[in-house]
A = this chain, B = another copy of it.
Amino acid sequence: MKERLFFASDYLEGAHPNIINRMVETNLCHTVGYGEDEISESARERIRKACECPGADVHFLVGGTQTNATVIDAVLKLYQGVIAADSGHIAVHEAGAVEFTGHKVLPLKSELGKIKAEDVKKYLRDFYEDPSYTHMVNPGMVYISQPTEYGTLYSKAELEALSRVCHEYKMPLYVDGARLAYALASPENDVTLADLARLTDVFYIGGTKCGALLGEAVVVPNPELIPHFFTIIKQHGALLAKGRLLGIQFDELFKEDLYLTIGKSAVNYANEIKQALKQDGYRLYFDSPTNQVFFLLEKSKVDDLAKKVEFSNFERYDDEYIVARYCTSWATTREDVDVLLEIIHEFAL
């Protein structure tokens, strides 16, 4: 395979070596299917502990879009929609998977991926004050991402405020943690897994982008929120036959708190890249605190840069610039970063 320099996303490699080793080791063991095996049970137990939530239900699904669509459909009532940042993954980049289940995504103005408790509150107040609200989609849930699609973080205070509004209106709060490991590893973060379990009604711990081959772990602190979730997962085509494959990912990620630290080097490297970009005169789009670095790139340079390194053409900025993104991961190496820093320097001149 031709080797290039890859900073386009955080799902470019296989899995953390512990996971691969465990897969090799257990490959010919027999286990029952559908996540009812001992490895999956062990993984669930480790997650319950890490979340300080012994009564939680934990379900392993395969990917992020699938998890979002399945959880949201399972939680919403027939006539309800889900409030999300207008830049949220479910609102933009999931090919309408939520609408496919029959529910509207209700977009809310956001800033760098985040929505505010006060805006949710205003939305709800206005909604119920509208004389024709019974002709409109009833808001039945709030969806946020931690970190967001821009790598930004909700502080504990912000999360508490969102939780308060949601529960005042008896709406579940759901957190998409596709990149949660990078939030947990950020020096700016003050939200723990236990906080998530305490303040939200359902959230998922991302595996795919955080050291696993695949898999997302859905945590339901109060299992009564989603009865018959097993059948619902099956119905949504989201039940993995060899469930232990997912069990292995999370049993390893939650052994000795690997998940809490696996993102640290990625966050550090991202910071190095940011500093280098600034020194070399690039404009950062903004200062993102996790494993993604957003900067402005002249459209005219896109093709040249792409020959040197895979990066993400994140979005249009204006007629002259795009927002480009470098993304580090748990698997990013010193060597790769060094080569990238040289390319940055070279291109800036």
Interface residues, chain A, CB within 8 Å of chain B? 1-4, 6, 8-9, 11-15, 17, 20, 23-24, 26-33, 38-39, 62-67, 69-70, 73-74, 77-79, 81, 92-97, 99-105, 107, 126, 129-132, 134-138, 208-209, 213-214, 227-228, 230-232, 234-242, 245, 310, 312-313, 315-316, 331
Please measure, in the bound complex, the distance between the C-alpha atom of A228 and the C-alpha atom of B214, giving whole angstroms: 24
Closest to A229 in B: B79
Candidates B1, B81, B95, B130; contact of A135 at CB < 8 Å:
B95
Can you list 23 A-B pairs, Cβ within 8 angstroms, ordered by A? A1-B38, A6-B32, A12-B31, A13-B29, A14-B27, A23-B23, A62-B240, A65-B237, A79-B235, A94-B234, A95-B135, A95-B232, A96-B102, A96-B103, A96-B104, A97-B236, A107-B107, A135-B231, A135-B234, A136-B231, A138-B231, A214-B245, A237-B237
Shortest CB distance A107–B (Å) = 8
Q: Could you say which of B29, B97, B214, B310 contacts A242, with CB atoms under 8 Å apart?
A: B214
Does B38 lie within 8 Å of A95, measured CB to CB?
no
Q: Which residue of B lies closest to A26 (CB)?
A: B14
Other than the given A17-B27, A100-B235, A209-B241, 9 more pairs (CB < 8 A) read A2-B38, A6-B32, A11-B33, A14-B28, A63-B239, A63-B240, A66-B238, A74-B78, A96-B137
- Where chain A touches its partner, the secondary structure class is loop
Q: Is the beta-carbon distance between A129 and B316 smaller than 8 angstroms?
A: yes
Residues of chain B within 8 A (CB-CB) of A131 are: 312-313
How many copies of this chain does the complex contain? 4
When the two chains form their complex, are residues A237 and B63 in contact, meaning their CB atoms are under 8 A apart? Answer: yes
Contacts of A238 in B (CB 8 A): 66, 237
Residues of B within 8 A of A66 (CB): 237-238
Residue on B with the closest CB to A227? B77
Q: Which of A95, A97, A130, A234 has the most CB of B within 10 A?
A: A95
